[in-house]
Amino acid sequence: MFFGTYEHTMDSKGRVSLPARFRNKLGEEEIILVRGYEHCLWLFKLADYETFLAQFNDTVFDERKRRMQRWFTNGAFDVEIDTAGRIRVPASMQSYAGLGKAITFTGNQDRIELWDPSEHQSYLDSIDIDELTNELVADGIL
């Protein structure tokens, strides 16, 4: 499980150091970088990514599931942690997430999210937690 928020800087080659706390939890496992919701990127351990994708296994007869599967698999990248503890964020991913030099890393249970810092703060500011809680309770989700 990944928790916490950290700020790091991306270099001109698209490399950024993973926070040590996250790097230690990833260990030597293969990791996958994919587009996420709200124009952030998601970084998964391979096993967690496979579990996530299993939700879309029965895609043959459901066009919506096929679209979801394609969204999360097309453009996914295997990324490696180099000897300096960095990953390379491909230019297409940087563009999708609007990433510049500064990167916000956030832990979100089974994945790490990479955000543009101002977008991340705007997203958090847009959440009215009381209203959201009430909606989820009304919908029977909480």
DSSP 8-class letter at 3: -
What confidence tens digit (pLDDT) does each residue in 74-128 have? 989 999 999 999 999 999 999 999 999 999 999 999 999 999 999 999 999 999 9
Percent of the chain with pLDDT over 70: 100
> What is the model's pTM?
0.92
Measure the CA–CA gap between 142 and 126, rounded to whole angstroms: 20
Using the 8-state DSSP alphabet, how is residue 56 labeled?
G
Both tokens of residue 54?
A: 């299993």
Cβ atoms of 118 and 32 within 8 Å: the answer is: no
Cβ atoms of 26 and 18 within 8 Å: the answer is yes
Q: Does 135 have pLDDT greater than 90?
A: yes
Judge residue 4's burial from the number of C-beta atoms within 10 Å of its C-beta, 0-12 exposed, 13-18 middle, 19 or more buried.
Answer: exposed
Please report the pLDDT score of residue 123 as a whole number. Answer: 95
**Per-residue confidence (pLDDT) for residue 65, from 0 to 100:** 85
Give per-residue pLDDT as tens, 15-64: 999 999 999 999 888 999 999 999 999 999 999 999 999 887 777 788 88
Structure tokens at 9: 């800087």
pLDDT given at position 27: 86
